[in-house]
Amino acid sequence: MGLTRDEVEKVSLLARLQFTPAELERLTEQLGQIVDYVQLLAELDTTHVEPMAHPVDIANVFRPDEVRPSLPRDEVLANAPHHDQECYLVPAVLGD
Amino acid sequence: MSETSYDIVIGLEIHVQLLTASKLFCGCSTKFGAPPNTQTCPVCTGMPGSLPVMNRRAFELGLRTALALNCQIAPFTKWDRKNYYYPDLPKGYQISQFDLPFSSEGWLEISDPKGKIEPRRIGIIRAHLEEDAGKSMHDEAAGQADSRIDLNRTGTPLLEIVSKPDMRSPAEAKAFLTELKLLLTYLEVSDCNMQEGSLRVDANVNLHIPTPDGKIATPIVEIKNMNSFRAVERALTYEAARQYEVWQETGQKIGDIPKQTRGWDDVANITRGQRHKEESSDYRYFPDPDLVPVTVTEATVADARAALGELPAALRTRLEATFGLTPYDSDVIVNQGKRGVEYFLELATHSGDGKLASNWFQQDVLRTLTEQKIEIDQFGLRPERLAGLLQKVRGKEIDTSRAREVFAAMATSQKSAAEVMAELGIVQVDESQLVELCRELLAANPKIVADIKEGRGKAAGALIGQAKKKNPNVNPGRLMEICLELAQGM
Ligand SMILES: [Zn+2]
């Protein structure tokens, strides 16, 4: 089973990650092993098991619509590699 | 190229910001216009270990809207992650609803008071809840190297409403949006402010063209960046003509090329192709493990339905049936919003004449609001007091032009119609006085008498001014009637 190199390349593009050919080779191998391991679950017969949307069997957890204090801006921006005291700065986003 | 040589097929996707105080999954404020990045917390900036909790009010507002759109409400609904990487999306995914939206299969009826389009139902595929992304700003003109990101909007509750491709002209699309906005305003679920991004519209459009080999469809184009309903109408009109031209040149059909996204340029009046992001269309949705599902009982749905109140379509019908108003008049009144309708209803009830109330409401009340730049709630002349004046107009105690003077005086005071009329010296002229006045006028104007006798009744109009000079209280309508009658017998 495993994964193909093309699949890993596609996923890395979606995740905006860039790899060298050697890294891709290694990741295809490693990710493939993980997928194979999870694939073990497919051996179970789930014919009569109802699919579930959540592992915990509870529903309807809400909070009231109340405003609570947000974080101070300088603390929030302190986490960013680049900022101008007001906004995060990122490489140019052009078009839409 | 003739307009009727093809069908335009339009579907709309509308994002509405719900009127909550706090965000969808955290307590940060949703208030518009705060300084950048002052309304964020670990949840809405996607910090590891933070946990989203659903805003009850957001769900209720969504439910209310879906019911008003005649949607089916799902008894079980869940939240999914839509994965994509973009600088304004700090978590790397948007919490949305994929395969089990909370509502689907509804409709909204559109009509046109001027009768230019046929009334009909536009289908709603689904309405679901999701969170908004942040805002990225780039000032190319200023030669900025970086883009700036403001995450205040991140996590703001949105309702996404997707219509069926049921609209057949740009005018119908505009009618749908206008009716939807009015409905949302009545439901008090959104302020629908397009400038502030509370209501955003994307359109999917293509053409069905009859050819000798059967009907063909052109490739579907999604249009973005339309920031007014007028822009939507213009963009669709432009796009239909453009697609027809492209089809004539290339013969491209649906499926021949991938779906295209084009942006509307409001200044140049054209749509422009946007860079194709083929790879980003794979969102790898999966259920969000941080959020538990929501179940909705039939009792909850029934309660929410009962609380909807009277909606625009039903109100129009009621105004037309109860007061004999035309569709045009009922539409103008209903478009004034709930408060406006309440004002009209009180005016109509207290004055006892719906048509008269409709005229005064549309002409005098609305004009005064526009002039004074105020809302109906701020207008000091309340309907019960104005109804007193309308009763006098009805009873022919005062003519319309003098009643307008009284209206103006009442609007700037708390006086009753009777008080203002007394102050202005307006008293009803009794019939015998009026007849006497008419005799005098006719005797002094033999030329007019001759004209009337020769069938030019309009000539009597010249007597109104003279009569008003002698007695400002005369009712011009009655004066004319008497003059015409007397002249015939002279
Ligand atoms: Zn937050």
Tell me the pLDDT tens digit for each residue of B14-67.
999 999 999 999 999 999 999 999 999 999 999 999 999 999 999 999 999 999
Domain stops at, among B387, B406, B423: B423
Range from A9-13, A20-24, B318-322 carrying the lowest mean pLDDT: A9-13
- pLDDT bin (cut points 50, 70, 90) of residue A2 is confident
Total count of domains within chain B: 3
Are the beta carbons of A93 and B136 separated by less than 8 Å?
yes
Minimum distance, in Å, between the CA of residue A38 and any CA atom of chain B: 16
- What count of CB pairs under 8 Å joins A to B? 138
A96 neighbourhood in chain B, CB within 8 Å: 224-225, 261, 263, 274-275
Tell me the pLDDT tens digit for each residue of B425-452.
887 778 888 888 899 889 899 898 988 8
Q: Are residues B28 and B117 in the same domain?
A: yes
Between the CA of B132 and the centroid of ligand 1 the distance, in Å, is: 12
Interface list for chain A against chain B, based on CB atoms closer than 8 Å = 10, 13-16, 53-56, 58-71, 73, 76-77, 82, 84, 86-96
Q: Name the residues around ion ligand 1, CB cutoff 5 A.
A: B 26, 28, 41, 43-44
Q: Are residues B268 and B345 in the same domain?
A: no
Are the beta carbons of A65 and B274 separated by less than 8 Å?
no
Q: Are residues B280 and B314 in the same domain?
A: no
Residue B253 sits in which domain range? 3-298
Q: Are residues B251 and B359 in the same domain?
A: no
- pLDDT tops 70 at residue B1: no
Asked, for residue B212, whether it belongs to a domain, the answer is yes
Residue among A14, A58, A87 whose CB faces B150 most closely: A87
Domain stops at, among B372, B402, B423: B423
Q: Are residues B129 and B51 in the same domain?
A: yes
Cα atoms in the Cβ-side hemisphere of radius 13 Å centred on B137 = 10
Q: Which residue of chain B comes nearest to A89, CA vs CA?
A: B148
Burial of B283 (0-12, 13-18, 19+ CB in 10 A): middle
For chain A, the structural domain boundaries read 5-43
Between the CA of B63 and the centroid of ligand 1 the distance, in Å, is: 23
Residue type present at position B319: L
Distance CA B461, CA B441 (A): 12
Cα–Cα distances (Å) from B380 to B5, B54, B309, in that order, read: 55, 42, 26
Minimum distance, in Å, between the CA of residue A93 and any CA atom of chain B: 6
Q: What is the pLDDT of residue B275?
A: 67
Distance CA B390, CA B346 (A): 12
- pLDDT tops 50 at residue A96: no
- pLDDT tops 60 at residue B277: no
Closest to B193 (Cα-Cα) out of B33, B60, B58, B315: B33
- pLDDT tops 80 at residue A14: yes
ipTM comes to: 0.90
Distance CA B243, CA B293 (A): 43
Are the beta carbons of B146 and A77 separated by less than 8 Å?
no
- pLDDT tops 80 at residue B461: yes
- pLDDT tops 70 at residue B484: yes
Whole-structure pTM value: 0.87
Q: What is the pLDDT of residue B2?
A: 46
- pLDDT tops 80 at residue B189: yes
* Bridge partners, B221 (sequence order): B205, B260
Return the residue matching tokens 């730049």: B373
Q: Which of A10, A13, A88, A94 to mutate to test the interface with B (most CBs of B within 10 A)?
A: A88
Mean of the per-residue pLDDT values of chain B: 92
Fold (topology level) of A5-43: Histone, subunit A (1.10.20)
Residue among A15, A60, A96 whose CB faces B274 most closely: A96
Tell me the pLDDT tens digit for each residue of A31-86.
999 999 999 999 999 999 988 878 888 999 999 999 999 999 999 999 899 999 99
